[in-house]
Structure 1
Amino acid sequence: MPRKKAVIIGINYFGTDNQLKGCINDAFNVREYLIQERGFSPHPNDMVMLTDEPKNLGTPFYPTGANLMAAFGWLVSCNNAGDSLWLSYSGHGSQVRDPDGDRESGLDDTICPVDFKQNGQISSDTLHKALVSLVSPYCRLTILFDCCHSGSAVELPYVFRPEADGQVNMVNNVKQGMNLLMATSDLLRGGFSVDKMNDAKVLLGGAKSFFHNLHHPQTADESGLADENFVEDWRNEGKDVWMFSGCADSQTSADTSMAGAATGAMSWAFINTMKNNPRQSYIQVLQSTRTQLVQKYSQIPQLSVGGKYDLNQPVSF
């Protein structure tokens, strides 16, 4: 019988200069959502949660790099046809120099285990080889990454570019660009400060990017899928992998508060979107999360895919 398996990660980096507030909450929110709304079992044979709560120190559930890699191996092992696999990560994302020379930025995305200062970060290339390359082609792996610089954090070969897709309403993109311009104007009202100017530059840069893409869209096919450029031949793997990420490679992802509780902006937007309408398509979920975040945040959620699949099918995991 098909099986559901999940690995859920939340790292707050307690007591460090890198401390976050909402990542462990994100992990528990995702856990509750998967159990109550998606039929996942909380049994430890089916669901593994790694957080840096003090009680997990010294156990396999403390999110060190070694423990994360072991959890990834468990997730993608011994899978039967029809299995549904889930991976979510809330924590710090960063970038390191790209050793392959295939990224225009010269940088690879990374995630940061709790011990990243001692033992290093986990690069996008490593994540792909540990997850995508090893997952059965007969299983579906769904990934939610709520961290900075996460657009191509597992190096999936195709990314959805709505600006290049004729089926996506161009007016929506114009509205988003206008919202960013209006946010810039609102931010600068009431006095000048260096912080305000820096925030305004980010918002204005996002607006310019929207309008630039309307005139100079990135190459994509009729479905809106554009090729990502990697040295490795990831396109021929044909894995059934779908990833929602909180922002583009060049952006940061907000650690914020909703209803008085600390949370990641993308985790909140994704869960809220799916609860409101669980039968949305992949494109609709992406648009819904972007709409929820664009009013307050500069980050732009991304959707990347392991193959050229129908993005209008309902989200399934």
Structure 2
Amino acid sequence: MPRKKALLIGINYTGSNHELNGCINDALNVRDFLVTDRGFSPDARDMVLMTDAPENEGTPFYPTGANMLAAFSWLASGNRPGDVVWLSYSGHGGQVRDPDGDRESGFDDTICPVDFEESGQITSDTLHRTIVSPMHPEARLTILFDCCHSGSACELPFVFRPDADGNVNMLDTVKKGIALVRAAGGLLEGGFSLAKAQDARILLGGATDFFHSLRYGRSEEAAAADDEGLAEEKFEEDWENEGKDVWMFSGCRDDQTSADTSIAGSATGAMSWAFIRAMRERPGQSYRNILQNTREELVNQFSQIPQLSCGGHYDLDQPLYL
């Protein structure tokens, strides 16, 4: 029988200058959802809960950088075809300068262990190599990240984002590239000059970098991809050819923050609350529906825009498998 396996992490950074309020609650709420609604076992062999609650300090369940990396390895190892694997993280997210030079922003997304000031942040590249790359290609991993700057936190190559009307659109980088081309064309209108040509060349060079993040050229296949809101992140590594069955819901774009808030008198992360609410109110939804409905839950109170990232070019209209 397929196994269900889960790792839940919630860090409040209690007593530090970076204290949050709702992250431990997020981990507990996700545990309740997985056990009650999705048939996961709370047995410690199948589900690991890591928080910085005082009783966990000094144990493997305290979310230090070393403990988290060990837990990621446990989660990604020993999986078989058909297994259902879950990872959720609620805590601080950050960004560090990208050492590979393959990110348009110049930064890698990160997550922050409870001891990040001493041990450092865990980068998106490390997360991918530790969690995604070792996964069995026929086991499905679902990830929920409720933290700031989380859009590319696991460096999954295909990224989808809903707009305010619920339509799933391409990454903003594509639109920026188109804008640069238009700006270059507009610059040369009204008379040619060497200075204008040089400026136009710079703009078009920037546009080329943006378009390199697309999987396809402007073929019929590309037009169809655009219509369904498909874009590909650009990474130094050949992640798009790994073929991993990984789906990640993240609380916001790379350049946004995720809200730590209070709902119905309980501290919670906005994304965790919205995702669980959307899942419970509408059973049997597709991945596209979950993304749209999570956005709908958030749109009236929060500016953050949730995203869905995938390890491959998968059908967003298939029912969520969890």
Tell me which interval the TM-score lies in, with the shorter structure as reference length: 0.7 to 0.9
Find the aligned partners of 2:134 and 2:166 in 1 and give their Cα distance: 38
Gaps of 5+ in 1: 164-169, 175-208
Map of 2:317 onto structure 1: 312
Q: Tell me by how many angstroms 1:294 deviates.
A: 1.2
Q: Tell me by how many angstroms 1:19 deviates.
A: 0.2
Map of 2:76 onto structure 1: 76
* SS at 2:313 equivalent: coil
Shift of the 23–161 alpha-carbon distance from structure 1 to 2, 3 Å rule, reads: closer
Contact 1:223 1:310 survives alignment (8 Å):
no
Contact 1:150 1:246 survives alignment (8 Å):
yes
Aligned length: 275
Contact 1:278 1:315 survives alignment (8 Å):
no
Map of 1:284 onto structure 2: 289
* SS at 2:68 equivalent: helix
Q: Write out the 4+ residue segments of structure 1 that deviate beyond 2 Å after TM superposition.
A: 170-174, 215-220
Find the aligned partners of 1:98 and 1:313 in 2 and give their Cα distance: 34
Find the aligned partners of 2:66 and 2:240 in 1 and give their Cα distance: 28
Find the aligned partners of 1:316 and 1:21 in 2 and give their Cα distance: 30
Map of 2:28 onto structure 1: 28
Map of 2:276 onto structure 1: 271
Question: In the alignment, does 2:164 pair up with 1:159?
Answer: no
Deviation track 1:169-228 (CA, whole Å, cap 9, x = no partner) reads x95469xxxxxxxxxxxxxxxxxxxxxxxxxxxxxxxxxx8xx78x96986614322111
Find the aligned partners of 1:267 and 1:235 in 2 and give their Cα distance: 27
Contact 1:8 1:88 survives alignment (8 Å):
yes
Find the aligned partners of 1:153 and 1:172 in 2 and give their Cα distance: 23
Contact 1:161 1:226 survives alignment (8 Å):
no
Q: How does 1:118-197 map to 2 (within 5 A)?
A: 118-162=118-162, 172=166
* SS at 2:40 equivalent: coil
Map of 1:40 onto structure 2: 40
Alpha-carbon RMSD: 2.0
Map of 2:248 onto structure 1: 243
Q: Tell me by how many angstroms 1:278 deviates.
A: 1.9
Please, which moves more after superposition, 16-25 or 289-298?
289-298
Map of 1:299 onto structure 2: 304
Find the aligned partners of 2:165 and 2:311 in 1 and give their Cα distance: 29
Please, which moves more after superposition, 222-231 or 125-134?
222-231
Map of 1:15 onto structure 2: 15
Find the aligned partners of 2:229 and 2:32 in 1 and give their Cα distance: 33
Find the aligned partners of 1:162 and 1:261 in 2 and give their Cα distance: 27
Find the aligned partners of 2:265 and 2:281 in 1 and give their Cα distance: 20
Please, which moves more after superposition, 216-225 or 265-274?
216-225
Identity %: 67
Contact 2:156 2:310 survives alignment (8 Å):
yes
Map of 1:50 onto structure 2: 50
Find the aligned partners of 1:160 and 1:40 in 2 and give their Cα distance: 27
Gaps of 5+ in 2: 180-209, 215-221
Contact 1:7 1:87 survives alignment (8 Å):
yes
Q: Give TM-score, length-normalised by structure 1.
A: 0.83
Q: Tell me by how many angstroms 1:292 deviates.
A: 1.1
Find the aligned partners of 1:270 and 1:225 in 2 and give their Cα distance: 22
Shift of the 171–77 alpha-carbon distance from structure 1 to 2, 3 Å rule, reads: closer
Deviation track 1:70-107 (CA, whole Å, cap 9, x = no partner) reads 11111111111100000000000000000011111100
Deviation track 1:30-62 (CA, whole Å, cap 9, x = no partner) reads 000000000000000000000000000000000
Contact 1:161 1:225 survives alignment (8 Å):
no
Contact 2:162 2:295 survives alignment (8 Å):
no
Shift of the 81–298 alpha-carbon distance from structure 1 to 2, 3 Å rule, reads: same
